[in-house]
A and B are shown apart, each in its own frame.
Chain A
Amino acid sequence: MLNILLRYTNLIIITLFILSLLSFALAYLFPGDPIEIMTGLKLEELQKLQNQSVNIGYDPEGGVLSQYGHYMSELFSGNWGVSFNSGQPLYEEIMQSLPASIELSAYALTISLILGLPLGFIAALRHHKLPDYTLLSFSVVGYSIPVFWLALILILVFSLHFGWLPLSGRLSLIFDVPNKTGFILIDILMSDIDNKHAVLLDALRHLILPTLSIAIVTTTLILRITRRSVIETLNSEFIQAAYARGLTTRQVLVRHGIRNALIPILPLLAMQFPTLLTNAMIVETIFSWPGIGSWLIQAIYQQDYSAIQAGMLAVSVFVVLFTMSIDMLLRLTDPKRKKVERGTI
């Protein structure tokens, strides 16, 4: 147990270290002065601050090592520089947009699980029968649809043709919800605004289309993974043995099938999260969802290098931390995996 914890902590620290090196190197690889890119401030402004003896750790004479040291200490103190474009602190901007993306991905994942798992079971239990073929063809279609195209079609049908659902943003701009957690539904529930019901409804209306666009693709993925795992489990000897002992299909499935089929797919499902986040970032730009994806793409359009650098680091750190923690948790709980030879992402 301790062994696993230590190994994972080690792995996480090393990976994060490499990421920080990469991010630091980006400042030198982007066109422009590295210090300007890291802080988002122009050299003159930095000089001015220095002259006013504000300690900003600006030391153009110091070597690369001392610069890296400064960079890291500023990162840890939440001082991520400011955006070239808006002049706002990047830490605040990222802390506002990253939760929006996580929220969207989480809802999409939830819906995909609710739909994908049972459908996967149905397909496996009716293996090589009509339901199986139907679901399988649905999943092939769903899986091969580009997510941005799907999002556009959904907009075309539900927003423009029927006029049922809004196509941009997370909440009508008319409503003011104080930003506490960055998760819109939680923020609304926590706030003490008068027309909470209407605001909540509005937020839900905004959520439906983007969530669906992401969820459809992920659902088909989960369906396929589940189906394969269930088929394998049902073909294994202990299931045959259970049948031989005279249990009904239902008993076999409930007592032996579900648990054993789910255990191998859980890590696979968790690993879908980065793909999900990538899809979410694409969908965000289409629905003008104020998440990290549309934020980064804006930054790229406007060549806002300080924002690109900080944004990339934030996203990659989040993805690494998330997937590794899930992986670690699964290893700690899965009896088959007690012995760990090496960590994998």
Chain B
Amino acid sequence: MTLHACDALITSKTDPNGIVYCSEGSPSSFNPQLDTFGTTVDASSHQLYDRLLDFDQTSGEIVPALATSWIISPDGKTYTFQLRKKVAFHNISTFTPSRYFNADDVLFSFNRWRLSTHPYHQVSGGRYPYTDSLNLNKLIKSVKRLNGYRVEITLQKRESSFLANLATDFAIILSAEYAKTLTARNQKQLIDSVPVGTGPYKLSDFRQDQYIKYSKHPEYWRSDKLTDKLIFDITPSSSLRLAKLITGECDAIALPAHSELEVVRQQDNLVLDEEPGQNVGFWAFNTSRPPFDNPAIRRALSMAVDRNALLEAIYFDSAIAAQNIVPPTSWAFQPDVKKVNFNPTAAKKMLRENGIEDGFSMTVWAMPVKRSYNPNAMKMAELIKGYLQDVGIQVNIISYKWSIFREKLSLGLHDSVLIGWSADNGDPDNFYRPLLSCAAIESGTNRAMWCFEKYDQIINEALDYSDTQERAYFYGQANELLAEQLPLLPIAHASKYQAHRKELNGLLINPYGGIRFGGVTKH
């Protein structure tokens, strides 16, 4: 009897009707329109909401989601979407939807970030980093309801990456009816913290820094198999996440540390998926501050640093050296651009020629969090400090709490920063524009604060064509311009990893953004 009880104590496993995912932090809200950072996207985008279009997770192609079909006018400016019928919104304790999803919801969701006069625009701060950085609010001329299930979007000009943007994690569809109810109750701010969407799971409980609990959306429109519960166990320490994965307390974990990948590979009951990453980790110079406005100085600083050594020490060989800002898997990649070679002697000479004397001091900001594109910015900053010391430059490493770090970075208080970018869709425009266009300075994704007219012209021209061959020509020009101007030094494209237990089926790496639990089951 006692033996039996002991057996039960050490062998009982958790419920197959629930998936526990150990995530790395608390989301800032449950609306990815408001935040481009992975933690928020993971917790909201694919769990709570749907988009008009989706990327196929394996091929990367644009596939129908809430829109069943679409027609593009011959001039490429007018898009007409046919919407899916009988798509139910979440029924939560404070709101019972009375109708299915229709064109009004599309209008509400788009107009919220598009129009500054919209009653919900200023709720939760009025900043929409993704759509603002791509100028989508200015690109879209009108969003019209043709009938209950047909929406027409007219653009100011032709833009070939538009459809891809509608399939990103940020182009989610909110419920207009819920918004109306909240307005009537004078509780507008709840729209982003007590969310209602059409996604596979609905939010049932959230405790800051502890957990997020979701339950199944019984009327989900896809035939995906769903478990009754989905739980995000918020575990900031990556070694603790791995430990919980080994003991079976988590079924899947976020961001396994590069130094721990070997441990995962050795465990028989764990699976490690790997996918070349659609991301870039880089060292951006604040070009709005002298002397970093001088391309020669940026080049000299880049030459003083041995990127291969950084790659080995920080990424543990799980990344490839970056040449362009786009990874080699992209069709805009160009292997033959002007390279930056490690040469401290030449770097030193170049610095002296440009008036940088021995003992010049600059700041390197290192982000305090771990991202796949840079798993340890702090350590990288230390290494760079060492290299720059060799050419007579003093480096102060600066880091703040993540939220403050981002805020101060947007103000341009840095000399240089170690950060990166993960693509949200397969279109190379998603690298070129948010990272370095003039408009992206304002929306806070252009960390180099670089505004270069010719560059903006090239990348905008690329969008006038829909043929990839033709577009690649323009991105080639952009690559050359960047290699010459070096507003930022691309360092690495890190592979994306996902670790989960064998019992979990159907969990794929989403190369273009957040994790997706719809259709994931457990045996």
Contact = CB atoms under 8 A, between A and B. Distances in A.
A93 B246 CA distance: 30
A153 to B, nearest CB: 14
A290 B210 contact: yes
Given A85-B208, A288-B240, A165 B10 contact: yes
Contacts of A344: none
B64 interface: no
Interface in B25-75: none
Interface stretch (B12-20, B424-432, B474-482): B12-20
Contacts of A169: 233, 249
Interface in B228-275: 229, 231, 233, 235, 240, 243-244, 246-249
Contact of A198 (B12, B213, B231, B243): B12
**Which of B10, B11, B231: most chain A Cβ within 10 A?**
B10
Contacts of A160: 243, 246-247
A111 interface: no
A167 B244 contact: yes
Given A166-B249, A174-B14, A198-B12, A86 B20 contact: no
A20 to B, nearest CB: 29
B209 interface: yes
B15 to A, nearest CB: 5
A173 interface: yes
Interface in A126-164: 155, 159-160, 162-164
Contacts of B17: 174
B211 interface: yes
A162 B11 CA distance: 11
Given A172-B20, A174-B20, A201-B8, A167 B231 contact: no
Interface in A87-105: 87-88
Interface string A184-199: 0000000000000010
Nearest to A159: B247
A290 B210 CA distance: 9
Contacts of B15: 172, 174-175, 198
A159 B208 CA distance: 27
B514 to A, nearest CB: 20
A79 interface: no
A208 B5 CA distance: 13
B9 A167 contact: no
A160 B240 CA distance: 11
B247 A174 contact: no
A205 B12 contact: yes
Interface string B213-239: 100000000000000010101010000
Nearest to B248: A163
Contacts of B210: 290
A202 B249 CA distance: 11
A54 to B, nearest CB: 17
B243 A204 contact: no
Contact of A202 (B11, B12, B20): B12
Given A159-B247, A167-B247, A298-B209, A174 B229 contact: yes
Contacts of B213: 173, 176
Contact of A86 (B209, B233, B240): B209
Contacts of B240: 168, 288
A87 B208 CA distance: 9
Contacts of B247: 159-160, 163, 165-167
Query: How many of chain B's residues touch chain A, expressed as a range?
Result: 20 to 34
The A interface is mostly helix, strand or loop, or mixed, namely: loop
- Mostly helix, strand, loop or mixed at chain B's interface? mixed
A173 B20 contact: yes
A219 to B, nearest CB: 20
Nearest to A93: B207
A164 to B, nearest CB: 4
B10 to A, nearest CB: 4
Contacts of B229: 174
A58 to B, nearest CB: 24
Nearest to A83: B208
Contacts of A201: 8-9, 12
Given A155-B243, A159-B243, A167 B249 contact: yes
B20 A168 contact: no
Contacts of B233: 169, 173
Nearest to B228: A174
B244 A168 contact: yes
A285 to B, nearest CB: 11
Contact of A208 (B9, B235, B243): B9
A167 B17 CA distance: 21
A113 B34 CA distance: 55
Contacts of B248: 163, 166
Contacts of B243: 155, 159-160, 167-168
A201 B4 CA distance: 12
A16 B39 CA distance: 44
Contacts of A208: 9
Contacts of A288: 235, 240
Contact of A204 (B9, B244, B249): B9
Contacts of A162: 10
Interface in A188-235: 198, 201-202, 204-205, 208
A173 B244 contact: no
A162, A164, A165, A173 — most chain B CB neighbours (10 Å):
A173
B369 to A, nearest CB: 15
Contacts of A159: 243, 246-247
B213 to A, nearest CB: 7
Given A159-B247, A208-B9, A174 B208 contact: no
Contact of A173 (B10, B12, B211, B246): B211
A288 B209 CA distance: 12
A51 B207 CA distance: 30
Q: Which of A163, A172, A298 has the most chain B CB atoms inside 10 A of its CB?
A: A172
Contacts of A205: 9-10, 12
A103 B256 CA distance: 34
Contacts of A86: 207-209
Nearest to B208: A86
Contacts of B9: 165, 201, 204-205, 208
A194 to B, nearest CB: 12
B246 A168 contact: no
B208 A173 contact: no
A202 B209 CA distance: 22
B519 to A, nearest CB: 19
A155 B243 CA distance: 9
Contacts of A166: 247-249
A210 B249 CA distance: 16
Contacts of A198: 12, 15
Given A167-B247, A168-B249, A205-B9, 8 more contacts: A86-B209, A159-B246, A166-B248, A167-B249, A173-B20, A173-B211, A174-B20, A208-B9
Chain A to chain B: the 3 pairs with minimum beta-carbon distance, closest first: A164-B10, A174-B18, A86-B208
